[in-house]
Structure formats: structure tokens, C-alpha cells
Amino acid sequence: MFNRDNLAKMIVQQRTQMGLTQKQLADMLHVSYQAVSRWELGASVPSLELLYELSKAFNLSVDSLLTGEYMTEHDINYIDSGFNTRRLYEIKDRLQELVSDTPLFVDNQYTKPVLYRTDGTPAKNPVHILTPIIPGSKLRLAKDFGYEGEICTDMAANAINSVAVCGGTPLFFKAGIICGNMDGELLIRMGKAFKDCCESQDTAYAGLEVGCQPVNFLSHEYELYGFCSGIADRDDLFSKENIREGDTVIGIHTDGIHGISYPFVHTMMERNFRLRYAKIDGEHYFAEELIKPTAVYYKTLQALREAKLLHGAHQLTNALNNPYRYAKWLPEDLTFCLDRSRVPLLPLFSFIADQDMIARQLMPLRFHMGLGILVAVPGGETGRAVRIIEQYHPCVCLGQIRRKTNPNENSLQEKGEFAW
């Protein structure tokens, strides 16, 4: 039998179980929050139409809502597992509004594959590029300190860079999150961070897909993933054979650290908890400097390419002076002569070294030392190349490419010392 007090209790119970305020529930039903308040006080009851809308919002039958007997006769549904499908799709609708408006996309709705066209690209002999991206250990720093926007920007930047260093043009970036809650405002902020990074590099943003899994994740937990699709003409792909003796290698600045390097810093913070809140120079917090996103280099590389100055590009991650990495970048008969005295030492890396947990001589094997990418340009055109790069990022000439004196010589030769 209908009882107004039972209805009022059911509305309060279901609203709080879903984590909604009175205003949020009112917005879903397109009524005032005062109306919801009166229902919960038993001062009035919803109209028949609104009872139906309430039952849909709470994933209950109208009978269960009116009688309150669902607890004994109700079949298990998503609400019982902590999952509100209606709320999820409302958030997805808002996220869909962030997707780039471009003729590139033939169909790009959430939960569906991205259908996109490549017939508008200039590639005569096209090679398609697909690079997956996960944030790596740096995600822990973002979770601990609430740097969700920064980690999203970092992810998109790394994905776009991975396409660009192949010689490709990034077409679009798609992100995904698996989470235990559905904090709509946080997800929108993350989506905007992805979008801003992509569109700054003329790359379409294909959206943020949300997978809500309260069974697998606590309310504050989440994991991120993404991928970037690009295209290149086969003849334009970077090849190690394009790098020549006499080329100059220029290092281009980036902020923060790469995610691959974060385990070293995390261990430092566990050994000295005060580092979590330390300042590196009396002004900038250590954590804020660590989380700064990787720079994005597509436009820089494109400008060098259009000027016919780019022979090759090498993306740095966790090490500036790892010979194995250079062996993969350079032809077998060439070596890179790195002048360590030219590397600008940023305050972040001096601070890390000063903690006396990582030996100074090991620092360039653990970190990129503030250089996110290396480019090889013709030695006689170094000045022109620097002027182009500096329109986008600070840079420094690090040394030359020369021929090996014997086949067993390393692909990296070093001289000079870091100016600690």
C-alpha cells in the first residue's frame, strides 16, 4: 500500500546511495532542488510522470519505489553493485562534446570504434602508424598529489611524439580511463587536458572513453591508457641511414621527468618523506617540477623538415647517455660525440643529485637531464636549425656525428663534464 513517508525515505535512501545531492537529482529530473527537498520531507509527492523518471534514475520499478519492498523482492541490478548507468552516460555525453569537430572522423561515438578517413592526407605511398600509450610510474605521482591534468597532457604529448619521431603526421589521439567512481567534473578536466595538448599540435582529439568498474576499483582509483594514430609517406619515414657524418646533434628542452624514471624518485621519497613537500630552490616544489608534462615536438620537427634540415630524431626517455639507445638510432659505422659540458643543468636535477641517493655520474643513466628529444641536422646549417627550433623550445648543440675509428667502438662517445 502506498505510504507517503515510505516514498520519502526511499528517495532519500536511493539518492544518497548514488552519491547525489538534492540539486544533482533535481537537475537530472529538470525540477528545482526545493521540489526534491519537499519529496524527501514528505510534504509533497512527485507527479506520475516524475515517479516514472525517478524509477528510471534509481533503476527501480515504480511499485518498488512506492512500497519500499524492493529489498526483499528486488532482482540484483547495477545499482546494487554501486554502478549507475544513467549517470555514466550523462558524463559520457558531456565528454563527447569535447571531441574535435573535424571531417577526419567518419564515426566517433563513445563505445564504438573510431572510424576515420585518410584520403585527405598527402601521402602517396601511405604507411599507417599506431602507438599505444600508458602513463607509466609517473601516474603514481599524479594520483598522490592530484595532478590529473598534468598526467593527461604528458600522456598525449608522449604519444604524439612517438608518431612524430618516426617521421609521421599524428592524425588523432584517443584516451581511456577505467575507474571506480564517476566524478564528472574531474573527468571533464582530464578530457580538456587531453584535448588542449592534441589541438596545440594540429592533432584531432577522439575523446575519453570511460569504463566504470566499481567491482574492480575503489571510489578514488583509476587507470589511464590511450593511443595515437598517424600516417606517413613511406619515403618520408626517418631512417638511420639518413644520418650522416658531420651532422650536428641538437638537444631540445623538456620539463619534468619521464615516467620511466619515476621509480627512482619514488624510492627517494619513501626514504626521505620530507621530499614530498620540499622546494628545490626556495620557490618551486619538488613534486610540481617532477610532474611537469613532456614537451610536444611535432610542430618543431615539421618546421625542420619543411626547411629540409632534419636527418633524424631520437626521443629520450630515462637516459641521456645510454649507448644501446644510440646504437639503435645511428648507422653502425657512426658514433655520436656528446659534450657533457654543454648540457644545461636544470635545478630539478641538481636537487636530485644533492640528496646523495643517486651518484652524480649515474644521473644521466637514470634521467634525460631535461632534454626530451635529439635531432640530427646538417653541420653547415646548425645556426639556421637552432633559430627554427627556438621558435618553439629552448635548445642546445650537444656535439657531432663522426665515423667510428673501429667497428667495436660504442655508438656514443663522451667528453667534458657536467657543470654540477
Show the 3-state SS of the chain. Answer: CCCHHHHHHHHHHHHHHCCCCHHHHHHHHCCCHHHHHHHHHCCCCCCHHHHHHHHHHHCCCHHHHHHCCHHHHCCCCHHHHCCCHHHHHHHHHHHHCCCCCCCCEEECCCCCCCEECCCCCCCCCEEEEEEEECCCCHHHHHHHHCCHHHHHHHHHHHHHHHHHCCCCEEEEEEEEEEECCCCHHHHHHHHHHHHHHHHHCCCEEEEEEEEECCCCCCCCCEEEEEEEEEEEEHHHCCCHHHCCCCCEEEEEECCCCCHHHHHHHHHHHHHCHHHHHCECCCCCEHHHHHHCCCCCCHHHHHHHHHCCCCCEEEECCCCCCCHHHHHHHCCCCEEEEEEHHHCCCCHHHHHHHHCCCCCHHHHHHHCCCCEEEEEEECHHHHHHHHHHHCCCCCEEEEEEEEECCCCCCCCEEEECCCCC
- Average pLDDT for 380-405: 97
Residue 34: exposed, middle, or buried by beta-carbon count in 10 A (0-12, 13-18, 19+)? Answer: exposed
Find the mean pLDDT for residues 68-81. Answer: 60
Pick the residue with more confidence: 396 or 281? Answer: 396
pLDDT band of 70, cuts 50, 70, 90 = low
Confidence band for 78, pLDDT divided at 50, 70 and 90: low
What is the average pLDDT across 230-252?
A: 94
Neighbour tally for 246: CB within 10 Å: 12
Question: 35-39, 210-214, 233-237, 243-247: which has the highest mean pLDDT?
Answer: 243-247
Q: In the structure grid, which three cell numbers stand for residue 340, read together?
A: 657533457
User: pLDDT-derived band of residue 79, with 50, 70 and 90 as boundaries?
Assistant: low
Provide the pLDDT confidence category of residue 265 given band limits of 50, 70 and 90: very high
Q: Is the pLDDT of residue 391 over 50?
A: yes
Span 271-291, mean pLDDT? 94
Work out the percent of the chain whose per-residue pLDDT is above 70.
Answer: 96
The pLDDT of residue 112 is above 90: no
Confidence check: pLDDT of 276 > 60? yes
What pLDDT does 73 receive?
47
Q: Which of 174, 160, 342, 334 is closest to 250 using CA atoms?
A: 342
Q: Which pLDDT score, from 0 to 100, does residue 5 have?
A: 81
Residue of 373, 159, 175, 348 lying closest to 262 (CA atoms): 348
**In the prediction, which pLDDT does 76 show?**
66
Average pLDDT, integer, range 89-104: 93
Cα 173 to Cα 156: distance, rounded to the nearest angstrom = 7
* Residues 161-199: tens digit of each pLDDT: 999 999 999 999 999 999 987 788 999 999 999 999 999
The model's confidence at residue 151, banded by pLDDT at 50, 70 and 90, is very high
Lowest mean pLDDT among 30-39, 242-251, 295-304: 30-39
Amino acid 71: pLDDT: 47
Q: Is 307 exposed, middle or buried (0-12, 13-18, 19+ CB in 10 A)?
A: middle
Domains of the chain (ranges; CATH) run: 4-79 (1.10.260.40), 86-236 (3.30.1330.10), 240-415 (3.90.650.10)
Residue 243 near residue 114 (C-beta atoms within 8 A): no
Residue written as grid cell 592526407: 121
Q: What is the pLDDT of residues 353-364, one digit of tens each?
A: 999 999 999 999
Residue 265: how many CA atoms within 13 Å on its side-chain side?
A: 28
Least confident of 78-82, 277-281, 350-354: 78-82
- Computed over every residue of the chain, the mean pLDDT equals 91
Indicate the range of 119-128, 203-212, 223-232, 349-358 predicted with least confidence: 119-128
- Please count the CA atoms within 13 angstroms of the CA of 145 that sit on its side-chain side: 21
For residues 380-396, average pLDDT: 97
Both ends of the chain: CA-CA distance in Å? 81
